[in-house]
A = this chain, B = another copy of it.
């Protein structure tokens, strides 16, 4: 398949959400134009994104909401459920465990690992924090397909290496550190500090009248 850009995949997720809503509103058909408006992109963008995977619409009519929704669901691999292991039982790890939204979308957090003896054995809802030493076995057993890194930055690469070694090929990284992994492993990063800094930059630009390129 011609390579699909990350932006396209992200937009597909967005379209999927809009379609869920539109479906709930009882609408049968939707045009690329209206789908686009709800996500703040152009209609050509919507059509181009979809065209990478097939042609799902009907000229003159638009897209059948339920059908397109099912197609995107299949494209995104959401027809099955995915098991997720979280490493790090700190604040982010706990928030992930407490949040039910992922289960609704097909992602089940089936295990939590930590390194600190103080954490191991602790119960969190229905789950027990496991010793990180057990990670390779659990992964080998096929207990999960996605690994989440919710540790402090210094431990992140180490945990990533453990995931990779255990055969995990999808990693969600919350640690503010670039991870190096083989190219058949996919990493997505969520870095809230970076988002705050990005806002800080934008605000400083606006208010500060930031100086131009100071040469010399």
- 26 inter-chain pairs at a CB distance below 8 angstroms, sorted by A residue, are A9-B197, A9-B198, A13-B194, A17-B177, A38-B178, A52-B213, A76-B197, A77-B201, A77-B203, A77-B208, A92-B95, A94-B95, A96-B192, A101-B193, A102-B196, A105-B197, A106-B200, A146-B199, A146-B203, A169-B202, A169-B203, A170-B199, A184-B206, A186-B202, A188-B195, A190-B195
| Bound Cα distance A210, B39 (Å) | 26
CA of A6 to CA of B205, assembled, Å? 13
Q: How far is the CA of A78 from the CA of B208 in the complex (A)?
A: 12
- Asked if A193 meets B102 with Cβ closer than 8 Å, knowing A198-B6, A208-B77, the reply is yes
Are B145 and A78 neighbours in the complex by a CB distance under 8 Å? no
Given A55-B215, A201-B76: A196 in contact with B146 (beta carbons within 8 A):
yes
A196-B105 contact in complex given A92-B99, A95-B91, A201-B75, C-beta closer than 8 Å: yes
**Is A47 among interface residues, defined by CB-CB distance under 8 A?**
no
Asked if A204 lies at the interface with its beta carbon under 8 angstroms from chain B, I say yes
1/0 contact trace for A38-60 toward B, CB 8 Å? 11100000000001111100000
> Per a CB cutoff under 8 Å, which of B200, B210, B215 touches A1?
B210
A20 to chain B: closest CB distance in Å? Answer: 10
In this assembly, does A165 line the interface, its C-beta being within 8 Å of a C-beta of chain B?
no
A53 to B213, Cβ gap below 8 A? yes
Name the CB-closest residue of B to A41. Answer: B178
Instruction: List chain B residues, Cβ under 8 A from A61.
Output: none
Whole-angstrom distance between the alpha carbons of A214 and B51 in the complex? 10
Contact B215 A196 (CB under 8 A): no
**Pairwise interchain contact A197-B55, C-beta atoms closer than 8 A:** no
Judging by beta carbons under 8 Å apart, are B1 and A78 in contact?
A: no
- Complex: A10 Cα to B146 Cα, angstroms: 25
